[in-house]
Structure 1
Amino acid sequence: MAMKDLTSLISGAAPSRRQFMIGTGTALAGVALGCPALAQSKELVIISNIGNAAQREVLQRIASEYEKNSGAKVTINNMDHEAHKTAIRSYLVVGAPDICFWFSGNRMKAFVKRGLFDDISDLFERENYKSVLGPATGAVTVDGKQYGLPLGGLLWGLFYRKDVFAEKGWTPPKTIVDLLALGEHAKSAGMIPISMGTKEMWPAAGWFDHMNLRINGLDKHIELMDGKMPYTDAALKPVFDKWGELVKADLFSPNHTSFGWEQASAALAQKKAAMMDLAGFIKYGFPEDQVGQIAFSPFPEITAGIGRYEDFALNSVHVPKNAKNKEGARDFLAYFYKPENLSAFLETESAVPPRSDCPPSKDPLVNAAVEQLKTVAGSAQYYDRDTDPDMALEGLKGFQEFMAKPERRDQILERLEATRKRIFKT
């Protein structure tokens, strides 16, 4: 039941759990939580976790246009992306905005199960969204009801500079053996083979996803995400064996726990590193005049015969259950989600639009993702979106620790297994 290709995404086919993994990734000063009651039809408060300044500008432009057309006042509070992950747990309960940005899949489902996101199936019906979203509807669906609007999809994989590879005579690795060989060539050239910044922890989880999907495939990966497989299961041994081999081969940035993905992507831009595992937003680490040098390559094959399964993550936007102006929120979302507005919003982050009727992208990285998705056998979202949020937090810590201290592997996996048993009550 995995997503077969992007053609199905835009065809309007019925959503499948595995297609976008149902059940499965900023606080700036001045965010007002618990603000006074707002006029039901004339004021809207939006909390955004958007770290991209250009995307924040597009959102503000859309909000300003909506204000002129509707006469409503729209206030956007932009929060730090990482801080928002903690703040949302509080503000959804007390001081909820009318609209907030978040993640689809299990991260959304956790709040749905707690009764903190509003059912907006009526908006889907009114605007006939299912006809243009196809399987993307599944990413925001729980028990047949929709609790958000899917935003841009991000395809994860390896990125590199075309000019560097051409100059060195390198080709993107097709197998893990190729990757190890490229690593040696990169080190001989005085470069870091794989740029990695794990200060925020989640980049390490992305590497785990790729390793597990390439060795165990999608079904076993989702068993683990759903808490049905122990972290001490024998199936995970080759994943950590091979991952440990890459760590010990010095493929990754030294001291990667001390800096974030932005610094890691800057190292790729500055030709200090050969490749990096990320999504299209890697371009924000590059000077604007060098973005055209960025190229994408799928994560290499590890176990022959395993289908090509990828992380394809969808962000989302929601109406909190405790919002004061739910009708106004729906009205704004209908305006924001028009094809031309959604496309402009997504264009700034190299994200694949979920709507089949959005205008073509001007970004070659988006077009590359669209083409790559046509060859994908199935997709997960991302570790911290696919599993329970509390399990994800411990997993992120464990993967970061493993990349720094692979000799602690057994203790890490035993700790994660204890967490799995507690959370999933097995």
Structure 2
Amino acid sequence: MTQQSRPHLAARGPGRRNVVGGLFGLGAAALGAPLLSACGGGAGADPKTVTFGSNGADATPKSAYAAVTKAFARDSGLKVKTNTVDHDTFQKSISTYLQGTPDDVFTWFAGYRMQYFAKKKLCSPIDDVWDSIGANFSDATKQLARGEDGKYYFVPLYNYPWAVFYRKSLFAERGYQVPTKWSEFIALAKRMKKDGLAPVASGYGGGDSWSILGAFDYLDLRANGYDFHMSLMRGEVSWTDKRAVAVLDLWRELTPYYQQSAGGRSWQDAAQSLLDKKSGMAVIGLFLGQQVTDEKIRADIDFFPFPEIDAAHGQDAVEAPTDGFMLSRRPKNDDGARKFLEFLGGAGAEELYMGVDPSNLAVNTQADTGSYNALQKKSAQLIASAKHISQFADRDSDPGFISTVVLPGLTEWLGHPDDGTGTLKKIESQRSRFFTG
């Protein structure tokens, strides 16, 4: 998802959407030195300093956060001490981090992922912050920021959609038409393969296996609808349900058109093959644009919504992960941290961030979007038109279930796609370990 963070051209680094690995039961050593020791403190912590734990280690988000914290420091007179850790380490270590001596404010994700830590009381409610910023967010965004107890625990910064991306010039050169239905999508993939292209760019090697979840989510959303998808994610429906079986049937129809050797390729390399016109399409997030430094190429990138499979559901669901900030359970500078969160929830902070990182969308309704590039404008329209907004499998479900059960199962299945019966039975056999009631 998402997220964050994303790649930088000079170095691959962990992707923004890396799935939590072993979220439950990680020892402190798993975190490594950076996160636990960088900004820890107790009694005697500087009242003029707010500590900030950031997963934005790639060059672009790191610069964007620096611009935001600098502005807050100038306006507030407080100092922000930023503790930046690579995204993969941050996610794998988040549970241990929050139980130790976490930073006052830390980056995290909206929805279920926030609610999990709120329920465990590993973060603080921030209703007072929302009293100040709430008028500038939609009802849907507010819902994503609330815990199961109805209190607010999250301040959103941006979101971004997943879709099917392509190069406009390649489509024009080859006479390809944008598909809106599944049959058209498969027919286009066949034609691309005949033309010597890898129809669908794909890379899920190493720590990038999370990237396959975008396709899984959309196949389920389009075939079975938002309600079933969310029930499946929340552990309320069996993974051997015929509707889940249908998802793998559809996926198996698409797999012959995936880029070869995807299991040994990073998602960044797969995305680059799209930019280089070696692949025709990619099911990916708007963060694809962060790899682009040539504005002519950026202007040539476009996307279309994942195609319709069942007319009853159309294309009314959009995957749009939302990233932002939370307050630790015992912040060392509680007053300063809340002031920082209030600043982060303002339109000005979003404008500063998006001014550095144009691969995201502001969620504050008062943020100036006049500088948006064409991709951002179209992305905003896509999200605004959605009847349902999902986050991403590892954000809409128990992260441990996804990372230790679902993801390994689906990754193995992609290596030798069959009818999926065995894979789904294995996943289902583990469901009760993570979901009760």
TM-score by length of 2: 0.86
Counterpart amino acid of 2:299?
G
Q: Deviation string for 1:253-302 (max 9, x for gaps)?
A: 22212222211111101111000011111112334231111101000111
Q: What's the CA shift for 1:69?
A: 3.6
Tell me, which stretches of 5 or more residues in structure 2 are unaligned? 1-30
Q: Does 1:84 align with 2:90?
A: yes
Q: Deviation string for 1:376-414 (max 9, x for gaps)?
A: 222211111111111221222222222222138222211
Residue in 2 aligned with 1:42?
48
SS in 2 for 1:35: coil
Is contact 2:358–2:373 with CA below 8 Å preserved after alignment?
Answer: no
Q: How far, CA to CA, are the matches of 1:171 and 1:359 in structure 2?
A: 33
Q: What's the CA shift for 1:173?
A: 1.6
Aligned pairs (5 A) from 1:203-222: 203-222=211-230
Residue in 1 aligned with 2:192?
186
SS in 2 for 1:139: helix
Residue in 2 aligned with 1:140?
145
SS in 2 for 1:322: coil
Is contact 2:204–2:267 with CA below 8 Å preserved after alignment?
Answer: yes
Residue in 2 aligned with 1:351?
360
Q: Does 1:396 align with 2:404?
A: no
Moved more, 70-79 or 107-116: 70-79
Counterpart amino acid of 2:146?
T
Aligned pairs (5 A) from 1:3-42: 30-33=34-37, 35-37=40-42, 39-42=45-48
Counterpart amino acid of 1:381?
Q
SS in 1 for 2:137: helix
Q: Deviation string for 1:307-346 (max 9, x for gaps)?
A: 3212121112111113211211111122233212212213
Q: Does 1:301 align with 2:308?
A: yes
Residue in 2 aligned with 1:292?
299
Counterpart amino acid of 2:168?
K
Q: What's the CA shift for 1:94?
A: 0.5
Residue in 2 aligned with 1:4?
none
Q: How far, CA to CA, are the matches of 2:130 and 2:350 in structure 1?
A: 16
Q: How far, CA to CA, are the matches of 1:258 and 1:326 in structure 2?
A: 45
RMSD over aligned Cα atoms? 1.9
Is contact 1:66–1:335 with CA below 8 Å preserved after alignment?
Answer: yes
Tell me, which stretches of 5 or more residues in structure 1 are unaligned? 1-26
Aligned pairs (5 A) from 1:180-259: 180-199=186-205, 200-247=208-255, 250-259=256-265
Residue in 1 aligned with 2:179?
173
Is contact 1:106–1:389 with CA below 8 Å preserved after alignment?
Answer: no
Moved more, 60-69 or 233-242: 60-69
Moved more, 97-106 or 28-37: 28-37
Counterpart amino acid of 1:411?
G
SS in 1 for 2:421: helix
SS in 2 for 1:315: strand
SS in 2 for 1:235: helix
Residue in 2 aligned with 1:312?
320
Is contact 2:35–2:90 with CA below 8 Å preserved after alignment?
Answer: no
SS in 1 for 2:363: coil
Q: Does 1:413 align with 2:424?
A: yes
Aligned pairs (5 A) from 1:49-198: 49-125=55-131, 127-142=132-147, 143-198=149-204
Q: Does 1:385 align with 2:392?
A: no
Is contact 1:107–1:385 with CA below 8 Å preserved after alignment?
Answer: yes
Moved more, 374-383 or 356-365: 374-383
Q: How far, CA to CA, are the matches of 2:246 and 2:359 in structure 1?
A: 33
Q: What's the CA shift for 1:35?
A: 2.5
* Paired residue total: 397
Residue in 1 aligned with 2:350?
342
Counterpart amino acid of 1:409?
G
Q: How far, CA to CA, are the matches of 1:89 and 1:209 in structure 2?
A: 25
Residue in 2 aligned with 1:370?
380
Q: Deviation string for 1:87-108 (max 9, x for gaps)?
A: 2111101121011101111111
Q: What's the CA shift for 1:51?
A: 4.3
Counterpart amino acid of 1:210?
Y
Moved more, 216-225 or 180-189: 180-189
Aligned pairs (5 A) from 1:274-285: 274-285=280-291
SS in 2 for 1:265: helix
Is contact 1:28–1:78 with CA below 8 Å preserved after alignment?
Answer: no
Is contact 1:208–1:399 with CA below 8 Å preserved after alignment?
Answer: no
Is contact 1:295–1:365 with CA below 8 Å preserved after alignment?
Answer: yes
SS in 2 for 1:145: coil
TM-score by length of 1: 0.88
Counterpart amino acid of 1:319?
L
Counterpart amino acid of 2:408?
K
Residue in 1 aligned with 2:10?
none
Residue in 2 aligned with 1:17?
none
SS in 2 for 1:146: coil
Q: How far, CA to CA, are the matches of 1:237 and 1:341 in structure 2?
A: 44
